[in-house]
Amino acid sequence: MTDEGAAETGAGALLRKLLDAPAPPPRVSEIGRLEEAADGVAIVTGLGSALADEVLEFASGVKGIVFDLEPGRLGVVLLGPTERLTPGETVRRTRQVVSVPVGAPLLGRVVDPIGRPRDGQGPIETNHHRPIEWPAAGILDRRAVSRPLATGLKAVDAAVPVGMGQRELIIGDRQTGKTSIAVDAILNQRTTGVHCIYCAIGQRGDAVAKVIGAIREGGMMERTVIMAAGDEDAPGLVYVAPYAAMAMAEAFAARGQDVLLVLDDLTHHARAYRELSLLLRRPPGREAFPGDIFFIHARLLERAGQFGEGRGSITALPVVETQAENLSAYIPTNLISITDGQIYLSPRLVRRNQFPAVDLGVSVSRVGGKAQARAFRAVAGNLRVTLSQFEELEEFARFGTRLDEDTRARLARGAAVRAALRQPERDPMPAAEQLAILLAAMEGLLDGLDEVHTLLAMAAIRRAVREDDAGLAASLEADEALTDEIRAGVTARARQAVEAMGKGDDADA
């Protein structure tokens, strides 16, 4: 047989094998049509079997989420630029919901809300994905909040403590330092092993860059995930950002790790949702927000908590912006009722150069006090009383009335305590140093000092505590009560530090 004959025989055998093989199963694909698109939303027809929250893929490569299911049409929220779409192009179902990559490879990276890298460091190598929408843990899967999450800020850790698994709202007007408190809380986790996720929602690019720089300089970038949905991104990306960040946090918590999640801020999130809803013709309600605006934030924040059975915790610090100190506006009211307390930052304190501008009269923690160290609890009660009495007396003193010696002393003590709560940005303190400064202020060691000498005195006290804390750090670690012996020892070292500072000033003079 010639080579040509052998080749024909082989081809014939292959052809017969193919003809005898069973036919492949039919592949069904549903194809729809884009009717119209504008400002981050689209109307699609021809996909009668699509499901809510399903991802659709347009012929131009843009993806979207099914938002509204109506007879004969779908309202779709776009996850990409509207300009790339052309009316009439085909739309295909994916039969999947939006998922994001999760796991350790995300640490140290900057990503967008669907997990694509934004830091120019190449692709993220992970095979694990998690849907951004997930049912919250049930009551039996949760545990009580019993461990403190230290922020390193005296005004917070002493008077408005946060526990691991808590949802504590950070609320205030613009430029009052809301982001700074959240970033300082992240930086204070350097020695705790807590993983952090910072989710920027609708923020300017330069603001996010400053946060990234601060976290990198503070040595926390390797244990932090930065998710950025800028104000230039599609509203759909802004909407899914906090849910994607929560999904990443849940993946860490499922492995037994503790996570600090910062959502900065949910005011922009609510506005993005309002924009999408109104474009899709959903009826507006109070302040033009749709009626389910409470639900989108409730189902997000209820996924945080302290979990049991080998799982870790998710501590959520959502941020919300108020207008002209209006705490009764729609979105702030909603979030105050959803969370376990709030840290309120007052413009009045900002004008007095009091940073962090935490208003202890309005701020409250409904859970964290149970997780607070007993030594802090012994000081926090007197701290609130002293400040509240001082503010009342300060209002009367403004009228220039004559004050007796006792009233002047109380005013001096209150001013010293308020000054002791001042703290520069990016300088979180260990618990022992915080408590030593507060004890010194409560004992009157800072009375009568001007602002410069108060700062010098606090720095001297911190140095003295680092050298010898009289057993305060060990007592805090063991969660023991603040004994008279330790209190006296810390106060004595603080007094020596302040007196030594004064002698140094006299020598310079």
Which positions make up the binding site for ATP? Answer: 172-179
Inter-axis angle of helices 405-420 and 431-442, to 10 degrees? 170
Q: Are the C-beta atoms of 290 and 273 separated by less than 8 Å?
A: yes
Comparing CA positions, the residue from 178, 31, 26 lying closest to residue 93 is: 31
Q: Are the C-beta atoms of 261 and 315 separated by less than 8 Å?
A: yes
Phi, psi of 42 (to 5 degrees): -145, 155
Active site residues: 366
Q: How far apart are the first and last CA of the chain?
A: 116
Comparing CA positions, the residue from 245, 247, 175, 180 lying closest to residue 215 is: 180
Tell me the C-alpha to C-alpha distance, in Å, between residue 184 and each of 126, 220, 265, 402. 29, 11, 16, 42
Write a three-state SS string for 13-60.
HHHHHHHHCCCCCCCCCCEEEEEEEECCEEEEECCCCCCCCEEEEECC
Q: For residue 110, what are its two tokens?
A: 């900057």
Omega before residue 505 within 30° of 0, cis = no
Residue 40: how many CB atoms within 10 A of its CB? 25
> Would residue 263 be called left, alpha or beta, if left means φ above 0 and alpha means ψ between -120 and 50 degrees?
beta
